[in-house]
Amino acid sequence: MDAPSVNDTDLKQKQFALGQTVFGIGVTAAAYPLSYAKLLVQIGHEPFPPHPTRNIFGKQVLALPNIFKYVGHIRKTHGFFGLYRGLSFKLSANVIASITANNIRQVLGRKNDLSHKSNLGDELDADTDEKESFEDFLRETAEQSLAQGVAVIVSHPFHVLAVRAMAQFVGNEDTYSGWYSALGDVMDREGILGFFAGVAPRVLGEVLTLWIASTVTYIINNYLLEDSEVKQYTSPIVNLMATVLTYPFSVVTATMIVTNSGLSAGSPPNMPHYTGWIDCWRQLSREHALKRGSSMMFRYYNNPVISYEAPVTPVGLPPAPPLDQQWKYNW
């Protein structure tokens, strides 16, 4: 049987990449209302005051409504289609990032295939077949980092438009409701650099996530596990853990995109004007706000956030309500 030609291999890779892109578009669109609400939490907007409840240990705490009630609040305020404000910007960013990353991987992959054949010859060591060499791990991770970093930078202007379109909810603005007005506002206020607000923590967070996940997966699969059936579950689990560790970069990115942007959400008293992303990180760290938005269901009040629609000054915790009435506080 003849080996597949280079053209056939490239065609299959392009078809696979196209399938991934289309699938990603569907997932992004379906989950967008939740992403919308999560983004508003990340920048510190809380439309509901905290309410008294008990945590899983029975301790009295102040809690914030879960993310689904937040989604309901957005729909009640701006209707069903209001849940998808900024979706066109977000889809554009995802498609551009996916195409860029896939093209870079294909180019680097072809170069490495040629180098591999010319340097190694026809014989391969048995251990190399079973276990990934450390040099291959470094090379592949570096290539993925390059592809991911470039993809983030190229697509970031559209990510900025998407985040600001969602952040308009705080001040009920409409500057970023259309492409022309959104592009014009960024250019008039900040120039070309405005399209790259928050790009540094975003790139750093993406690359750190990739290296943490790849390194831990490499160590586990090559030195701790022997069963190939189990190894296939290592990567997704480790990726999730790495994303949790680098989550603060996502919060800082969203905050830096919005701060001093001309939107109500990015100006005092809703948000201070940060001098840079490190300054933003330090202030959010002092407020214990680097993890805000990380939990969708169990959200507890423990730091200052954007001013409430109904001002609340929690001084002391009232007595816990009767058990038969506590259900209403958990929605």
Return the pLDDT at 16. 67
pTM listed for this prediction: 0.82
Return the pLDDT at 2. 53
Return the pLDDT at 59. 84
Report the alpha-carbon angle 10-23-148, nearest 5: 65
User: pLDDT tens digits for 251-299?
Assistant: 999 999 999 999 999 999 999 999 999 999 999 999 999 999 998 888 8
Backbone angles phi, psi at 45, to 5 degrees: -85, 125
Residue partners of 268: CB distance under 8 A and separation at least 6: none
Return the pLDDT at 57. 82
Question: Distance between CA 118 and CA 181 in Å, rounded?
Answer: 54
**Which of these, 183, 166, 169, 174, lies nearest to 32 by C-alpha position?**
166
User: pLDDT tens digits for 96-141?
Assistant: 999 999 999 888 876 665 555 555 444 444 444 445 588 899 999 9
Q: Which parts of the chain sit beneath pLDDT 70? A: 1-14, 16-17, 110-132, 303-331
